[in-house]
Amino acid sequence: MTRAAANAAATADALLAWLETQPRVSTNATKGDGGLAASVLSDGQGGDASDACITDVQVTAPVPRDSVGREHPVVRADAERRAAPMQLAHTDWLHHHLAVVGAADQLAGFRRAAAGAGIIPWPIDLDRMEEDVFHLLVSPPPPQPRTLSVAGARVLAGQLRSAVGRRHERAVARVGVSQACPFDLHTLLPVPDHLLRLGPDDPEALAWLWEHWGTTQPLRHVAEDADGGPDALPRPERTPEHDAIRLTFWSADWTPWRALAAVAGRWPGLRFDISPTYGES
């Protein structure tokens, strides 16, 4: 990376940290969990988009329209009604322990099927994102004073656009290739392509996620639990006929119970035991 590119990336990262504390002011803004940056870039590990089990880059999607450009108000209203209760205004991330217990050969099959990149490959509207950031910089919410010139705000917004675009490209390229995330809901129950095109805040996409996953965002910080949690099988009791995969993760607002029910139906020989920790982790 050149010095100029490194400086731009560092500036964009610093700007992201500041944006996390800012409310939305643009008419193009979408619902998020506290600030503009939360809906612009979220990597689930607090690091680069090449990290394991990253989450998706979230942007506003255009409203679905018919062949002459009109909205579908009836379909839209129904989707909004179904999705509205399922995504809290401020995401409550819940920590969970998951134990998958069964025969070693079945567990191996499940492990192969469940591994993925850990993200949903939503599209990203970089033009809209850049404009949202630019307007926030030139017109910060009171009582914060504006500290940048219009030209400076445009430069910083462009740097952020470039940094997010690079990370988004790397993240999307991992889908279908990476197996760094041991329990990837998008790998087990993929979001349909026509819903991916709508974006992460579209009511139809949110309704689908609720109906099929029981949560409206990808799991975060998914990892195998080396200690096994409080209910782990003692090592001497583990046999080829009776073993376990134990995972920890964070889910948005709800336990992903609908996804677990669907997955358990595919592997009837395995037992899925999940327990939220409610701040005990």
pLDDT tens for the chain, residues 1 to 281: 455 445 555 555 555 555 555 554 333 333 334 334 444 444 433 334 334 454 433 333 333 444 444 444 555 555 555 545 567 778 889 999 999 999 999 999 999 999 999 999 998 889 988 998 899 888 888 888 888 899 999 999 999 999 988 888 888 888 888 999 999 999 999 999 999 999 888 899 999 999 999 999 999 999 998 765 545 444 445 555 678 999 999 999 999 999 999 999 999 999 999 999 876 54
Instruction: Judge whether 74 lies within some domain.
Output: no
Domain identity same for 142 and 183: no
- Give the span between the Cα atoms of 278 and 209, in whole angstroms: 23
Domain identity same for 114 and 137: no
Cβ neighbourhood burial of 258 (10 Å; 0-12, 13-18, 19+) = middle
Domain identity same for 106 and 206: yes
Is the full-model pTM beyond 0.75? no
Q: Tokens in use for 63?
A: 């409203």
Residues in the chain: 281
For tokens 């705000």, what's the residue? 153
User: Closest Cα partner for 40 from 147, 128, 117, 119?
Assistant: 128
| DSSP bridge pairs for 65 | 71
Domain identity same for 132 and 220: no
The total of structural domains in the chain comes to 2
Q: Tokens in use for 193?
A: 């392509």
Instruction: Judge whether 106 lies within some domain.
Output: yes
| DSSP bridge pairs for 37 | none
Instruction: Judge whether 38 lies within some domain.
Output: yes
Instruction: Judge whether 271 lies within some domain.
Output: yes
